[in-house]
Structure 1
Amino acid sequence: MNNVSIYHNPRCSKSRQTLALLEENNCSIEVIEYLKTPLSTAVLEDILSKLNVEPRAMMRTKEAEYKEQGLAEPSLTTAQLIQAMVDTPKLIERPIVLANNKAAIGRPPESVLAIL
């Protein structure tokens, strides 16, 4: 049985589909509702490292907050983008699944199967 963490938003259909897929695969799941329990800088840095992506790759760039905060500005540093996700968790792409010291974004939900 796999121990899996999912950064979950129950209002998001992809997040719910990914959670259901993990349940179907008999995973032992820790559900973290990141809008209620915001992620720290260290946790976000760890997830980015496991995903091997730049911060914008795990940000919801179509959210109004992304535009309002000017986050498309190329001169912003990694630290500034991570801080924006700490301050505004809604900007974080969802769901994110951690398993076996790896991470995957559940878009599409089946993409998380590769790390189980």
Structure 2
Amino acid sequence: MTEPAFVTIWHNPACGTSRNTLAMIRNAGIAPKIVHYLKTPPTRDEVAAAIAAAGLTVRAAIRQKGTPYAELGLGDPTLSDEALLDAMMAHPILINRPFVFTPLGVRLCRPSESVLDILPAPQKGPFAKEDGEIVIDAEGRRVR
């Protein structure tokens, strides 16, 4: 396995997409650094940097489902990026996941197989998501 510092995942073990992403990282023979971001939230600067590095807007990186998004009125299109970041800092569950950081880039891995675009190692064998969808065939090739 490669050194953990080469790949980092902001992970929520209760999230199927996050679990699938982590499993694909491991299927490449990589032992990533796992940040349980709900227990150890990233700083405001880290979140802003991750969003920018992934080429996203702050609004695109905020999670709506299963969060206080609606209750906080975050759907208001007049809210600034700063206001959205404030909400993410107050409620880390609003940070969409999983963010993955590798030497090849940063991605918000939704869908989970988008992690394959930035992994520094190929898949070592077949892989199917938790729902049974085959992502990697027996020869380690991506199924599209």
Tell me the TM-score normalised to structure 1 length.
0.92
Q: Deviations over 1:35-91 (max 9, x none)?
A: 000121100111011111111111112334001111111111111111111110111
Aligned to 1:63: 66
Q: Work out whether 1:23 is the aligned partner of 2:23.
A: no
* Native 8 Å contact 1:7 1:33 kept in 2: yes
Aligned to 2:53: 50
Aligned to 2:8: 5
Which structure is richer in relative contact order (CA contacts within 8 A, separation 6 or more)?
Answer: 1
Aligned-residue Cα RMSD (Å) equals 1.5
Q: Work out whether 1:76 is the aligned partner of 2:76.
A: no
* Native 8 Å contact 1:50 1:101 kept in 2: no
Letter in 2 for 1:20: A
SS for the counterpart of 1:6 is strand
Letter in 2 for 1:42: D
Deviates more, 1:80-89 or 1:95-104: 95-104
Q: How many residues align?
A: 116
Q: Hey, which bits of structure 1, 4+ residues long, moved more than 3 A?
A: none
Distance 1:86 1:64 in 2: 13
Larger proportion of helix: 1
Aligned to 1:99: 102
